[in-house]
Amino acid sequence: MSGMWGNNIKLSIFGESHGNAIGINIDNLPPGFPLDMEEIMREMRRRAPGKNNLSTARKESDVPEILSGYFEGKTTGTPLCAIIRNSDNKSKDYSKIKDVMRPGHGDYPGFVKYKGFNDYRGGGHFSGRITAPLVFAGAICKQILRKSGIEIVAHIKSIGDMEDKSFLDCDLDKLFINSLKYEEFPLIKKNLEEKMKNEILSARKEGDSVGGIIECMVLGIKAGIGSPFFDSVESTLAHLIFSVPAVKGVEFGMGFDISKMKGSKSNDEYYLKEGKVKTKTNNNGGIIGGITNGMPIIFRVAIKPTPSVYKEQNSINISTMEETTLQIEGRHDPCIVQRAVPVIEGVSAVGILDLIKNS
């Protein structure tokens, strides 16, 4: 089933954007692990809607209600189930899209697959709203990984054609990683923030939207994690990342640009530092042969522009099988990149913990 994932850490997600609640079931967490609920709520707030004019006006507190697997402040080791109740629903805003398919959304393929019985309100189960439970699961996995010295952090690499600096070009020993984890609009080059926000607001004013790229890094992971081929680090992470709505591309290390390099330049040469094996470059993003080499895992994720735009677009009426036009109403993000940062971090944490438990 598409709502289930995992070899060791097993996830099952459920719910619709305008249903009573959305939620997740997480199996095979270690027993007796104390959860920092304040830290979990901080992660939830990073993704939550309705915080400012850069996001949708829909307001949801996104407070997870844990139903099982958690007792007296610690995990029990049995399946941990949590729900997040939906409160700010305006389903009438979606009445016209019951039959008219929104370009760029899952409406038409969803209609075909589920024979017209899918919940279309707010995108139903296709909605980015379902990423809230993934952030919850990721927040738990982040805490477990942190005990082993592993940190996961991401930043906005680009909005439209405006580019931030890459982790690959930074001296990581001098980069203040912790500051990125607590920023609402995380950037390495802070002077880009106002320009990028203005780009988003400009798109909103035009009734349009913009996309961008998120760059994520896994620090502190040891060499030897992963497997060749089907359970490689890249394939495991990519599976989860491509499960996040609006993701259209993933590249590790230098990604597609590595194809422009000669082998002598793209190879990450080894050296010893204080008795530890390091590489002089990290063009392969910390992964060779599907297995970690001890360097930071670095990858980038392409996020498409929000498909819900206020400009009139061509479409079809699926009930009459006639061509028509559609002007979307309701509350929508002009850009989802900034809210997707904790989602990418979260699913990456789930994937890394799953890989570690398999090693």
Give Cβ neighbours of residue 196 (< 8 Å, ≥ 6 apart).
Answer: 156, 159, 160, 162, 185, 187
Phi and psi at residue 129, to the nearest 5°: -60, -30
Angle separating helix axes 337-357 and 233-241, nearest 10 degrees = 140
CA 32 to chain centre: 28
Distances, alpha carbon 4 to alpha carbons 1, 14, 356, in Å = 6, 9, 19
**Three-state SS annotation for 197-263:** HHHHHHHHHCCCCCCEEEEEEEECCCCCCECCHHHCHHHHHHHHHCCCCCEEEEEECCHHHHHHCCH
Residues making up the annotated binding site are 47, 125-127, 289, 304-308, 331
Q: Which two tokens stand for residue 85?
A: 């109740």
Q: Name the nearest CA neighbour of 26 among 133, 132, 131, 130.
A: 133
Query: Is the Cβ–Cβ distance between 73 and 311 less than 8 Å?
Result: no
Residues making up the annotated binding site for NADP(+) are 47
Q: Which two tokens stand for residue 192?
A: 């880009």
Residues making up the annotated binding site for FMN are 125-127, 289, 304-308, 331
Query: Is the Cβ–Cβ distance between 357 and 9 less than 8 Å?
Result: yes
Query: Is the Cβ–Cβ distance between 99 and 319 less than 8 Å?
Result: yes
Residues 155, 181: Cα–Cα separation, whole Å: 9
Q: Are strands 297-303 and 291-292 parallel, antiparallel or unpaired?
A: unpaired
Q: Which residues pair with 163 in a beta bridge?
A: 158
Q: Which two tokens stand for residue 316?
A: 């079809």
Task: Determine the length of the chain.
Answer: 359
> With the C-alpha atoms ordered 227, 231, 235, 241, is the resulting torsion angle positive or negative?
negative
Q: Which two tokens stand for residue 98?
A: 């019951």
